[in-house]
Amino acid sequence: MPLTLDVLAEQLLSLIEIVSSQGESIRALAERCEHLEDRDQAITVAFMTFFHVLASRQISSLAETSAILEQTVETMELDRQPAEAVKFLQGLATMLLEHRLKKAEAGPIPGLVDGSVDPLT
């Protein structure tokens, strides 16, 4: 009879080890899922920002929009948002700045009364 208790005790300890190992795996998977959800949310915010930038040309200058993007990037970096989303917005801000500089180099737009550059740039 004592032999069976020893066997049962060993089996119980083995089961505890298996459950403990699976618990650790489940916690690791839960953390990974949370990370992926945060990453997806940050990327969604980056794309939404991109489309808002496209629409904002109607109401603000490229310089203002670029400045807002730079502030957003700084905030995202402080919040340790995913690097892909931060790089995407940095690239968007750089693209807007380059576009603004090209427009400024092109000079005044024909048809404007005072000969100034496009007010939306």
Q: What are the extents of the domains in the chain? A: 2-106
Q: Of 15-19, 98-102, 104-108, where does the model show the most confidence?
A: 15-19
Mean pLDDT of 51-80: 77
Residue 2 pLDDT > 80, yes or no?
A: no
Residue 118 pLDDT > 60, yes or no?
A: no
- Average pLDDT score, the chain: 77
CB 69 within 8 A of CB 49: yes
Residue 109 pLDDT > 70, yes or no?
A: no
Q: Of 18 and 56, which is predicted with more confidence?
A: 18
Mean pLDDT of 16-20: 88
Burial 55-76 (b: 16+ CB within 10 A, else e): ebeeeebbeebbebbbebbeeb
pLDDT at 115: 46
Which residues touch 53 (CB under 8 Å, ≥6 apart)?
65, 69, 92, 96
Residue 28 pLDDT > 80, yes or no?
A: yes
pLDDT at 92: 81
